[in-house]
Amino acid sequence: MAKRKYRNGMSLFGYSIFHPINLFLIANVIVHVIQLFAGGTGILEYYFALTPSRFFQGYYWQIFSYGFLHEAYGTPFIHLFFNMYVFVMFGGLICRYIPAWKFTIVYVAAIVTGGITVMLAPVFVQVLGIHYPMDLFHTTTLGASGGVTGILVLFGILFPETEVFLIFFRMKARYAPWIFVGGGFIADVVSVYYFHSPFVVSNSCHLGGAIGATLAAPWILKNGSLNSGKNFLKKTVPKDLPSDPKIRSLEEDLDFQTKKNRELLNELAESISYSERNKILTPLQQTNVNLCPPPTFQPEDPFCLRCEWLPNCALRKLKTDQE
């Protein structure tokens, strides 16, 4: 199980301020504030948002930089808020189980592949002869949703049977990102057919982000190593260990935690009184944890069973029930 080691100093959302989740979050917020101070000139969007025509003119950095800009006109912060909310919520859960550098690679890969599909979209439309009511070659795309869609895919790969809420619907995590992407394309078709105007989101970017994470995640997770330690820590092998140590796979590591939590739940079930259960759970409490909201604690949920913080949630529920 990946263990988070905290640096001395500030933390945010249960992670060091220098953790990639917080670094990406802070970078997006800072860039958005700069966009607002630019006063609607669009100078940042011109150089750093992704426009296929400008990319092919030499603005190659746009394939990545677009993921840090958000809609700054109309209602500021709304676009940024929803992207970062999903990013922090699912990213925070994912990083309990995999190292920060693996999470970062999948996120960056999703942003880049999202940009690639945005650039391929006008070519695809032209080759197929689709009459689309927008010049995609000169359309600007911005936002972190390509990378965020990739994070949803990664969550679905790690916890395929966990149920999540997508807008107003409950579904398995493995299907959620693809339903989200498919729903966007359906909304686009309906909008074009009935209103002669495309939908407001970049479906090609979302699709690319999902594809990028699907391709990158198995490669990143193939060794199943969950040794996290410090951010971007180089892999070292102590001298006193065998030259070819056995590394548990990701599935074995998660199954081990599940077995451990089931044994704890069985022990709690055999205990009748509050004091007995409290005595069992208190020594197992961990500090600096980022727990899910109380109503989401379901001991038989696959995600909860795989979580190293289940004893913390169990004690919290025990105290709440006692009150």
pLDDT (tens digit per residue) in 22-43: 999 999 999 999 999 887 668 8
Per DSSP bridges, beta strands 169-172 and 15-16 are unpaired
The pLDDT of 278-286, averaged and rounded, is 88
Residue at 109 is within a domain: yes
Non-local (6+) Cβ contacts of 251 within 8 A are: 224
Task: Calculate the alpha carbon distances from 310 to 46, 108, 250, 304 in Å.
Answer: 48, 30, 19, 6
pLDDT for residue 152: 96
Residue at 1 is within a domain: no
pLDDT for residue 3: 44
CA count, 13 A, side-chain hemisphere, 254? 18
Task: Specify whether 214 is located in the same domain as 270.
Answer: no
pLDDT for residue 289: 72
The distance of Cα 13 from the centroid of its chain, to the nearest Å, equals: 14
Percentage with pLDDT > 90 across the chain: 44
Residue at 236 is within a domain: no
Task: Specify whether 218 is located in the same domain as 252.
Answer: no
Task: Specify whether 39 is located in the same domain as 141.
Answer: yes
- Residue that wins the pLDDT comparison between 111 and 264: 111
Residue 153 and residue 217 in contact, taking contact as beta carbons nearer than 8 Å: yes
Task: Specify whether 160 is located in the same domain as 285.
Answer: no
Task: Specify whether 143 is located in the same domain as 206.
Answer: yes
pLDDT for residue 317: 86
Percentage with pLDDT > 70 across the chain: 86
Residue at 123 is within a domain: yes
Task: Specify whether 24 is located in the same domain as 66.
Answer: yes
The pLDDT of 152-170, averaged and rounded, is 87
pLDDT for residue 240: 53
User: Which residue is it, tokens 């990739």?
Assistant: 150
SS3 69: coil
Task: Specify whether 127 is located in the same domain as 87.
Answer: yes
Residue at 132 is within a domain: yes
pLDDT for residue 84: 96
**Confidence band for 49, pLDDT divided at 50, 70 and 90:** very high
- The mean pLDDT of the chain is 84
**Confidence band for 4, pLDDT divided at 50, 70 and 90:** very low
**Confidence band for 205, pLDDT divided at 50, 70 and 90:** very high
Position 13 pLDDT exceeds 70: yes
pLDDT for residue 203: 93
Last residue of a domain, one of 230, 264, 296: 230
DSSP letter assigned to residue 283: G
pLDDT for residue 252: 64
Range ranked top by mean pLDDT from 61-65, 92-96, 200-204: 61-65
Position 299 pLDDT exceeds 60: yes
pLDDT for residue 246: 54
**Confidence band for 223, pLDDT divided at 50, 70 and 90:** low
pLDDT for residue 131: 83
Position 89 pLDDT exceeds 90: yes
Q: Helix, strand, coil proportions of the chain in percent (round to 5)?
A: 60, 5, 35
Task: Specify whether 201 is located in the same domain as 297.
Answer: no
pLDDT for residue 23: 96
Backbone angles phi, psi at 4, to 5 degrees: -90, 130
The pLDDT of 237-257, averaged and rounded, is 58
Position 19 pLDDT exceeds 90: yes
Residue at 243 is within a domain: no
Give how many domains the chain has, as a whole number: 2
Residue at 4 is within a domain: no
pLDDT tens digits for 269-278? 888 788 888 8
CATH number at residue 59: 1.20.1540.10
Q: Among 172-186, 193-207, 233-247, which stretch is predicted with the lowest mean pLDDT?
A: 233-247
pLDDT tens digits for 308-317? 888 888 888 8
Task: Specify whether 211 is located in the same domain as 276.
Answer: no
Task: Calculate the alpha carbon distances from 205 to 118, 120, 134, 164, 293 in Å.
Answer: 5, 10, 16, 22, 31
Show the domain range for 161.
9-230
Last residue of a domain, one of 195, 230, 265: 230
Residue at 315 is within a domain: yes
Q: Among 105-109, 226-230, 236-240, 281-285, which stretch is predicted with the lowest mean pLDDT?
A: 226-230
Whole-prediction pTM: 0.71
Task: Specify whether 178 is located in the same domain as 274.
Answer: no
Task: Specify whether 143 is located in the same domain as 31.
Answer: yes
Last residue of a domain, one of 230, 265, 282: 230
Position 292 pLDDT exceeds 90: no
Task: Specify whether 133 is located in the same domain as 99.
Answer: yes
**Strand locations in 17-127, DSSP E?**
none
Q: Which residues pair with residue 171 across a beta bridge?
A: 164
Residue 44 and residue 38 in contact, taking contact as beta carbons nearer than 8 Å: yes
